[in-house]
Amino acid sequence: MHILIVSLGSTEGLRRADEELRASLVRAGADAALARADPPRPARTMMLTDLAWARAARAAAVRGLAEARARWGREPAVIYSSTTAALLWPRPGAIRFDALSVANRPGRHGLWQRPLERRRLEQAPLLLPWSDGALAETPDAAGLRERSLVLPVPVEPSGALKPAGERDIAAIAYAANPAKKGIDRVLAAWQRVRAATSLDATPGELVIAGADSRELRRAGVSTEASLVRVVGALPSNEYRALVRRARVFVCAPRREDYGIAQLEALADGCQLVTTPAPGPYVALPIARQLDPRLTSEDLAQALSCALHDPVPGYERRARQALAGFSRGSADHAAARALQRLA
């Protein structure tokens, strides 16, 4: 079977997810290709941003379909990666998504996206949500479930598991889209922990990845707190190497559409310290199960618990909890999706 994935790729996480999907489909026996949207120029509002990306996705789909016909001599099945990629589609196809505009584009931010998204969800032959929670956010979830198949993004360890005593970074945070990720709240909690810690019992440093100091300042986030190191956007292998050295992954998202960074941190043995957040935040119940003290609105107290009173064996149990996110599990779901698309 021939599959064309129309990849929005507006974030590093989405790009990696689309690469993993293509690889899973190939391992399941399909010929699969990616048609990547060219990033548009920044827009001033969320509505204009989504319109620009939807137009870019349509252009990528038209281009990719033409190339697929020339390459394979037939029309491929199409998977649109995100509802934004499907909004202006040139032809119907399956839609894979981590979250829906009906949930993450409230009020004026999604005036045109929400009704068009609903129409596309009704027209799509197959829906491939990343999680059960992603589909549950739509009022039509019950009616859409018959045409849905959960296709999670695989998350694997990036290296050998280091015990806590060998980790030389106290905490790491991921700051792409700093306001949404709540980096201001992370830094406030870090300052509180530092203020309550004597100099001879310093917990180490907080590393912030995914955004540089300039991007953080533009979002109104000051990084002048002591023992904070900003490393900016890094290649995946360099970022995961830092995660393996950290004892804690700390975050305070205002909304979480999935949480790949948190799952990667758990896979690499970090304790996950997080505030609760709306959205299909798949790592949240896992974090609560592993150590409920670390999931709290009092982020500073949770961070202090993780740094100064860690639960023994957390790293090993975290890896065990992610068994359902293995590439093998994703490949099994991809094979079922191929059967539905045939």
Domain locations along the chain = 2-154+326-341, 164-324
**Residue among 94, 123, 122, 90 at smallest CA distance from 25:** 94
Give pLDDT, residue 203: 66
Same fold, 2-154+326-341 and 164-324: yes
Give pLDDT, residue 302: 98
Rounded Cα distance, 92 and 78, in Å: 8
Q: What is the pTM of this model?
A: 0.92
**CB distance 341 to 3 below 8 Å:** yes
Give pLDDT, residue 208: 97
Q: Report, at the CATH architecture level, how domain 164-324 is classified.
A: 3-Layer(aba) Sandwich (3.40)
Q: Tell me which residue has tokens 């990616």.
A: 34
Cα→Cα distances 130→59, 75, 165, 220, Å:
25, 26, 35, 31
Give pLDDT, residue 226: 77
Give pLDDT, residue 96: 97
User: At a CB cut-off of 8 Å and minimum separation 6, what does 111 contact?
Assistant: 47
Tokens of 141: 């979830």
CATH code for the structural domain at 2-154+326-341: 3.40.50.2000
**Residue among 47, 25, 186, 166 at smallest CA distance from 94:** 25
pLDDT beneath 70: ranges in the chain: 198-203
Q: Considering the chain, what is the average pLDDT of its residues? A: 93
342 strand-pairing partners: none
User: At a CB cut-off of 8 Å and minimum separation 6, what does 327 contact?
Assistant: 20, 24, 154, 156
